[in-house]
Every structure is written in C-alpha cells, then in structure tokens.
Amino acid sequence: MQRLLIFISFILILSSCKQNDIFQDQPSVYQTGDNLLWAKTTFNDQHWKNERGNTSDKLFWIRSHVRLLQSPNGPLGLKIQSFGSFDVYWDGVLIGSNGRVAKPEIAGTERSVFSVPDSLSAKGPHLLALRARQSYKQTTQRGVDIKLDNYISLLKSPLIMMSFMNLMAGAFLIAAIYYFFLFANSKRKEYTILIFAIICLLFFALLIIEYIKFYIDIPYTHFFVRMEVIGWLTFSISLFVPLYFSIQFNFKWKVLLFSALFSTLTAIYILNLGHYDWTAILYSLAMWVSAVVVVLYAIIQKEKGSIIVLTGLILSAIAVNFLYYDLGIFIGFTIIVLCMLYLHTLRVRVIEEEHQSSVLLSSRLKLELIKKNIQPHFLRNTLTSLIDWVEESPKKGVEFIQALAGEFDIMNDISDAELIPIHKEIALCKTHLSVMQFRKEMRYEWEESGIDEAEFIPPAIIHTILENGITHSMPLADGKIYFLLSFQRALNYKIYTFETRAENRLLTKERKGGNGFQYIRARLTESYGDRWEFISEAVPQGWVTTIKLYHK
C-alpha cells in the first residue's frame, strides 16, 4: 500500500505539467440579425456587443478573432464549446455546422469539433464567425469557448482520456458487483461492505456520466441534466465516503458529524444553484474535511491503517489542486477508494483471524467433549468397577455395561453439535448418574423443574456441572445426593439453575473450578458471545450453579 501511494504521487507530479496552447483568442462579440457579410474577415465588428443579450429565437452572429501562434503539425482543428446551433465560418469560409440553424432549430451539442482547411491554417490572425440561434434555454448566457489544435489530437485526446476513465469505471463496476454479492451472501451483515459497494457503484456512475458526453451527442437542451446527475452523485459520494471511514474507524460522534455534513452539503447545493462544477468542488471539499476529521480521530485512537488513509487523503487533495478539475477529482476519488479497499482488506484479515480461532476453539471443545469418556480417570475407574461387577454379579455387570453404552451413545451423538436439545443433555446426565451409581455405590436422585423441551444448550455443560457435583459431594443423612435442574424465563434472559443437595467435602485446597469450568465458559462463549453469566458457589445445602443466558 505504501509503495502504491508513492507510485500514485509520482504519477501526479508527472501529469501536473501542462502543455502550451498554440493560439491566442480575444473575447467574442455578438450581434443579433443575419448577414452573410458578417462572416468576412474584413468586416468591422467594433460596435458589436460583448454579450449575446436577449436573442429570443432569432438568429444572431458571434465573431471571434484568434491568432495562430504556431503551426499545428498536421491538419488544424477547431473545438467550440457553446450552446445553441450554428454554422461555422473560418476566415469567411463555411467549414461546418452544429445542429440546424434554420427554423425549426435542431439543437446542437455543447461541444463540437471542426476541421480547418490547410489553406486557411497559416500562422497569424484568423476570424471565426458563427451564425447561430438559441431558441431553447434562451436565458442561459453561456460564452463561446474556442480551442485550436491539431485536428487529430482534438479528436483523439477525449478517446485517450476515456480509455483510462472507462478502465477505472469498469474496475469500480466489478468491485461494486463483487461487494454487493459479498454482502448479499455473507451470513454476518457487514454494513461497511454494503456501503463500499454503493460507493463503488456511485463512482462507476459518476465516471460514466462525466465522460458520456464524448460518445453520446447531448443536445445543449439537455446539457444540464447530466450536470445535475453528476451533482447528486457527488453529493451522495460525499456522504458515503466519510460514513464508511467513520464505521471502519469506530468514530464516536457519527450523528453529529453526519448532520453537520448533510446540512453543509445541502447548503452548498442551495447557495450555488446552477454552478455545477463549483458545487461539485465544494461537495468534495466537505467530504474531504469530514473524512480527515474521522481519520485524525482514528490516528489518535491508534486505529490500524489510519496513517495510510490520511496519506491517501492528502494525496487526493494534491491531485485535485494541481490537476485540472475533471481529471484531478477522479484521481483524487480513486486514491480515496483505494484507501477504502485497503481498509477493507485489513478488516477482512481480522474477520479471517477471528474465524480461524473460532474454528480452532470449536474443534478443541469437540475434542474435549470426546475426551471426557476416554480420559484414564473415567475409563479405567469405570472398567475396574465393571470387572468387579462382572466378577461378583454378572447380571448387574450387564446392566452396568448397558448404562455405559447408553452414555457413550449420547456422547457420540452430541459431540459434533454446538447446541443440543436440553432433553438430550438431561438424558446424558441421567445415564451418567446410573453409571456413577454402579461405580460409587451411592444413590443419586435427579429432579427437574420448568424445563422447556424446545430449548437448546451447548453439549455436556450440565453434565460437567453434574460431574463436579458427584466428585465434590458426600451423601446426606438419608444416604442420597440430590441434583435439581430448573429453568426459568425472565424479561431479558433465561436461567438454568443446577443445585446439588449434599454435604460438601472438605478439601486440602480451595475449590476453584479447573478444566471443567473452563470448558463450560468456552462453550458458552462459543454459542452466546458475551451474553451469558456463569456462577458456581457453595451454599449451606450444597452447591448451586447458575447459567444466565441473555437475549440479544
């Protein structure tokens, strides 16, 4: 990314050198009426007006004195940017027309290019005269902008510009489609992805609309439609770009920033009605300032990638200031979008790492669950008791084996799941108790209340609490140990309470909850994020464990 930014700044420096014009022109003069003599170079236009004035739907003439400073190295071309339809006279010779001047007028395009005959292309003074009509948009006073250059390069240069812009537009279109799909198909809805896709699409549209003028003839009557569309596209981009940064960088005062930005943009629109290019520049400036505010905040907060984004923003400002507007703003925007893309990859990496670690945790927990029944303490003690039962009372031994098989079956059944129905968990606990009754020769009583069969729970967490209860308890006076599982619902949480009613054993060390509790906590985190609470403590009647699961 750093290298790319250096590369871009290098390109900026290169492209900031402007080439020199090969001509000079004087302000155009206007005269309402129609006279073919007005095309002549010899006609004196000193009394003509400097403005078109109100020409209504009448014919009027425009004369412009130009001086060719150097030969154009090939055929001379003339580019005219103006409203209306007109016939073009160069040194008194008709060299072309734009639209149809005769009534009813056919509107010409705002930009037109004409070839000048070689015989009239000598260095020195020349006269351009336009026989024009502007029956539409009569009140719009738009001057005539003239450019003389090599005819071929006048035709070619928009093509070259467009080739780059279309390339960029294509890239943005692909990015927009890709990120839309990504958003639509990903389970966790990352709104930055959607915003990024929208920005890419807006940017694609902006590029296409901006340069559409080179390949579609837009009559001057519709000239402002395009400008208006460009204005609104810029408006939206100016809102979305800082929004994207503020989400990516966890900006604190989003509402404040965006109400300020929105009102600024609206004010710019209202105060500069009709000044399309200027409005767009102001929009971009507002966007830039708010983006910088967000990024500076991010730098203070030491957010990843914030320095690079700031560098990108500064470069884009340089691009806009040192290149001519149309090009500069696009290069500036491109740099910003690149920064966003870079941020996005950073984010993706974080998500990837989170995903990897969660997969790792899941498989570790799965392993831990499977290990429960094959760890030596459980397996070898069970087998020893089993041998004893088989030797002493084969019939009981068979019952024992069946209970054990039952526990293994359920374990096997649930070991792959992240959540299992509560009744399965209870079945597991009950088979475990019957196995333990054979081993410990103690009587265990299982009770439950308020259990909702439709509820799900991570596998073997009640089982783990039960194991702890068996391990750490001594029977009550009646020779039994009681286990009670109850379930309750509250407004914003549900709670499982597991009570062990027994005498707690004296311990050589304080009971802190080892691997078992770690397993339970990891399982709860896996399934409920941080929306759970796990408390396990001694009470006078024995031991109480509560698992509180909060709703979202």
Partner 1 sequence: MRILIIEDEGRIAKRLERMTRSFFDENLTSVCICDYLQKGLAHIAEHQIDILLLDLNLNGENGFDILESVVAGSFHTIIVSAYTDRAIHAFSYGVLDFVPKPFDEHRLSMAFKRIGATVKRTENSMKVLAVKKAGQLHLIDIDDLLYIKGAGIYSELHLQNGRLELHDKSLETLEQLLPESFERIHKSYIIPMKHAEKITVQAGSKYNLLLKNGEVLPIGRSRYKDLKKRLI
Nearer to partner 1, 477 or 506 (CB): 506
Instruction: Give SS3 for 26.
Output: coil
Nearer to partner 1, 377 or 552 (CB): 377
Interface region with partner 1, contact rule CB under 8 A, candidates 36-44, 314-322, 325-333, 433-441: 433-441
Under rule CB under 8 A, residue 385 binds partner 1: yes
- The distance of closest approach from Cβ of residue 507 to partner 1 in the complex, given in angstroms and rounded to an integer, is 7
- The distance of closest approach from Cβ of residue 412 to partner 1 in the complex, given in angstroms and rounded to an integer, is 22
Segment 504 to 523, residues that bind partner 1, using CB under 8 A:
505-509, 511, 514
Strand 443-449 to 480-489 pairing: parallel
The alpha carbon dihedral of 267, 268, 269, 270 has a sign of: positive
The alpha carbon dihedral of 201, 203, 209, 215 has a sign of: negative
User: Closest by alpha carbon to 446, among 418, 472, 465?
Assistant: 465
Residue choice 100, 440, 494, 531 for contact with partner 1 (CB under 8 A): 440
Site size toward partner 1 (CB under 8 A) is 28
Distances (CA, A) of 336 to 231, 248, 302, 317: 19, 14, 20, 10
Nearer to partner 1, 6 or 405 (CB): 405
- The distance of closest approach from Cβ of residue 421 to partner 1 in the complex, given in angstroms and rounded to an integer, is 29
Radius of gyration of the chain measured on its C-alpha atoms:
40
- The distance of closest approach from Cβ of residue 509 to partner 1 in the complex, given in angstroms and rounded to an integer, is 7
Under rule CB under 8 A, residue 442 binds partner 1: yes
Nearer to partner 1, 110 or 368 (CB): 368
User: Closest by alpha carbon to 425, among 396, 444, 442, 446?
Assistant: 446
Calculated CA dihedral for residues 67, 75, 165, 233, nearest 10 degrees = 50
Nearer to partner 1, 3 or 512 (CB): 512
Under rule CB under 8 A, residue 381 binds partner 1: yes
Under rule CB under 8 A, residue 266 binds partner 1: no
Under rule CB under 8 A, residue 372 binds partner 1: no
Residue choice 97, 264, 284, 468 for contact with partner 1 (CB under 8 A): 468
CA distance 544 to 242: 51
Decide if 415 contacts 370 (C-beta within 8 A). Answer: yes
Under rule CB under 8 A, residue 402 binds partner 1: no
User: Closest by alpha carbon to 59, among 109, 141, 129, 132?
Assistant: 132
Under rule CB under 8 A, residue 489 binds partner 1: no
User: Closest by alpha carbon to 111, among 15, 258, 223?
Assistant: 223
- The distance of closest approach from Cβ of residue 374 to partner 1 in the complex, given in angstroms and rounded to an integer, is 12
Write the DSSP assignment of 273-302 as a string of letters: TT-HHHHHHHHHHHHHHHHHHHHHHHHHTT
User: Closest by alpha carbon to 213, among 136, 113, 311?
Assistant: 113
Name residue 481's beta-bridge partners: 444
Segment 2 to 41, residues that bind partner 1, using CB under 8 A:
none
CA distance 103 to 114: 23
Q: How many residues does the chain have?
A: 552
- The distance of closest approach from Cβ of residue 448 to partner 1 in the complex, given in angstroms and rounded to an integer, is 25
Residue choice 380, 480, 489, 551 for contact with partner 1 (CB under 8 A): 380
- The distance of closest approach from Cβ of residue 537 to partner 1 in the complex, given in angstroms and rounded to an integer, is 16
Under rule CB under 8 A, residue 388 binds partner 1: yes
Interface region with partner 1, contact rule CB under 8 A, candidates 1-9, 32-40, 83-91, 379-387: 379-387
Under rule CB under 8 A, residue 386 binds partner 1: yes
Q: What is the 3-class SS of 103-115, one letter each residue?
A: CCCECCECEEEEE
CA distance 279 to 229: 12
Amino acid at 458: P
Nearer to partner 1, 388 or 533 (CB): 388
Residue choice 2, 18, 46, 376 for contact with partner 1 (CB under 8 A): 376
- The distance of closest approach from Cβ of residue 517 to partner 1 in the complex, given in angstroms and rounded to an integer, is 12
Name residue 150's beta-bridge partners: 76
Residue choice 226, 472, 521, 531 for contact with partner 1 (CB under 8 A): 472
Interface region with partner 1, contact rule CB under 8 A, candidates 62-70, 188-196, 356-364, 438-446: 438-446
Nearer to partner 1, 328 or 397 (CB): 397
- Tokens 């770009």 belong to 241
Under rule CB under 8 A, residue 432 binds partner 1: no
Interface region with partner 1, contact rule CB under 8 A, candidates 170-178, 200-208, 381-389, 450-458: 381-389
Nearer to partner 1, 349 or 505 (CB): 505
Retrieve residue 468's tokens. Answer: 């702890």
Under rule CB under 8 A, residue 494 binds partner 1: no
Interface region with partner 1, contact rule CB under 8 A, candidates 90-98, 116-124, 205-213, 436-444: 436-444
Alpha carbons within 13 A on the beta-carbon side of 187? 2
- The distance of closest approach from Cβ of residue 384 to partner 1 in the complex, given in angstroms and rounded to an integer, is 4
Decide if 472 contacts 543 (C-beta within 8 A). Answer: yes
CA distance 419 to 422: 9
CA distance 139 to 457: 75
- The distance of closest approach from Cβ of residue 381 to partner 1 in the complex, given in angstroms and rounded to an integer, is 5
Decide if 68 contacts 128 (C-beta within 8 A). Answer: no
Instruction: Give SS3 for 298.
Output: helix
- The footprint of partner 1 (CB under 8 A) covers 376-377, 379-381, 383-389, 438-442, 468, 471-472, 474, 505-509, 511, 514
